Amino acid sequence: MPTTARTIYRDSLNFYKNEQRSIVILSAILAILLATIYLMIGPNAQESQLINEFIINFQKTRFSDITPAELEAMNNSVVGIFKKVLMIYIFELLQQSILVLVILMLAMALSTGHNVTLSQTFNASLPRLPKMFLLILLCSILISAGFMLIIPGIILLVGFALAPVALIRQQNLGKAIRLGWKTGFGESGALIPALGIWILLQFGVGIFSNMAVGLPDLLHKFLFYFLKNMTSAWLIIYLFRLFMLVENKYTTQHTR
């Protein structure tokens, strides 16, 4: 039976609607936790502005106009701010790992006829979290580096998109990456449009966040992360459904 994007879109949207309550609760809990952590340890507006100025000066090599004392003070400040940015980056990846893992485990349980709750799914997901976090971290670093040259980033995004789903099914990090890579390019016709929709939705969330900058900081960050989680949830379900439809074909090829 040929895989059609229309069928996958319909199935993923139906699942999204049927499990909307669980998706909203999970997205909201993760968003409020991450928003709180960001306000506690993340860079404030002034520090973010300093980082932007540092990057602009670096790109335009304006450091020659700054005295050594001013440059040393700036470097010390920037290093401290970068540590905050790095910590937030790690917490964001952890949140993404939990979101991906719980939704995939929920989808897998329901697809096999098990009627599970969100809390049961979360508890069952915890032992798998370290591997999923490692996979998300690796993929995120490589894809981000690839997007510095645009085309490599797109290639890596397509190649790694199905790796989290493969990890749920295979339980081996190396095999999951190889199987996800092969499946991603083998089903690129159904995968690339969905990734394009997701990227556009992420841009939309960013635009909304810029428009809502006047809101209280906690509410602003919560809405930003919540909407990102909700849009990502649909893509995760779509990727799961796509992988499930073609798994046998690529698993057979992979084991030969």
Give residue 1's pLDDT band: very low, low, confident or very high (50, 70, 90): very low
Q: Find all residues with CB under 8 Å of 14, minimum gap 6, and list them.
A: none
**pTM, 2 dp:** 0.87
Give residue 146's pLDDT band: very low, low, confident or very high (50, 70, 90): confident
Q: What is the pLDDT of residues 26-64, one digit of tens each?
A: 999 999 999 999 999 877 767 667 666 666 655 555 544
Helices (H), 147-216: 151-160, 163-170, 173-186, 188-211
Mean pLDDT value across residues 63-76: 54
Mean pLDDT value across residues 116-125: 90
Give residue 21's pLDDT band: very low, low, confident or very high (50, 70, 90): very high
Residue 233 pLDDT greater than 80, yes or no: yes
pLDDT for the residue 67: 53
pLDDT for the residue 25: 95
Mean pLDDT value across residues 59-80: 57
Give residue 213's pLDDT band: very low, low, confident or very high (50, 70, 90): confident
Residue 252 pLDDT greater than 80, yes or no: no
Q: What is the pLDDT of residues 158-169, one digit of tens each?
A: 999 999 999 998
Q: Find all residues with CB under 8 Å of 208, minimum gap 6, and list them.
A: 223, 227
Structural domain boundaries in the chain: 5-255
Give residue for tokens 């980056």: 89
Amino acid at 249: K
Give residue 113's pLDDT band: very low, low, confident or very high (50, 70, 90): confident
Tokens found for residue 111: 């697809």
How far is it, in rounded angstroms, from Cα 44 to Cα 39? 8
Tokens found for residue 81: 């701010």
What mean pLDDT, rounded, does the chain reach? Answer: 84
Mean pLDDT value across residues 9-22: 89
pLDDT for the residue 55: 61
pLDDT for the residue 147: 84
Q: What is the pLDDT of residues 149-194, one digit of tens each?
A: 888 889 999 999 999 999 998 778 889 999 999 999 988 888 999 9
Q: Within 10 Å of residue 211's Cβ, how many Cβ atoms?
A: 9
